[in-house]
Amino acid sequence: MQENNDRKNMGQLIIYLTFNGNCKEAMEFYQECLGGELHFQTLGESPKTEKLPEGMKVYIVQASLKKDDLILMGTDMVDKEVLRGNSVSILLDCNDEDGIKTYYKNLKAGGNTTHPLQETPWGELFGGLTDKYGHHWLFHCKKSSAQSFNKI
């Protein structure tokens, strides 16, 4: 029975794409190709961004394209040069705080932390790492009343 409980707590693995300022254009293209509902959050809509230059406020913090069980996400937020091979991440979206911490710890073994798993200003847990095989992982856990990525 433990296996069924683990599946319930794990949530979903989601494809997460990183762009160099053309996230909106690319995600609209994917919507044309695949259909589904598309939602964006711009940098200008994020907390504490009123002092940013207007040109930066249009960058996409988070895009979500959902159709049936398909979820494709994207962002313009990048902390390194986007190159072929580092622009795709695996997002593990989980509803269990202890579970997400365990998955993060396990996948970090032999790898490198890119973003420590920590609480965001909007009350969710978020983190990132590159595993020992060079694959990029993102971790998200909604806490109590926080909204999950797949609800956007």
Measured CA to CA, the distance from residue 110 to residue 141 in angstroms comes to 23
Q: In what order do the strands lie in the sheet with 37-42?
A: 37-42, 60-67, 70-75, 12-18, 88-94, 136-141, 125-130, 112-119
Token digits of residue 83: 């190159």
Query: What integer pLDDT is reported at residue 118 of this predicted model?
Result: 95
Report whether 139 contacts 92 (CB < 8 A). yes
Q: What is the pLDDT of residue 66?
A: 94
3-state secondary structure of 132: coil
Whole-number pLDDT of residue 142: 85
The list of the chain residues with pLDDT below 70 reads 1-10, 79-86, 144-152
Query: How confident is the model at residue 87, as a pLDDT?
Result: 75
Q: What is the pTM of this model?
A: 0.64
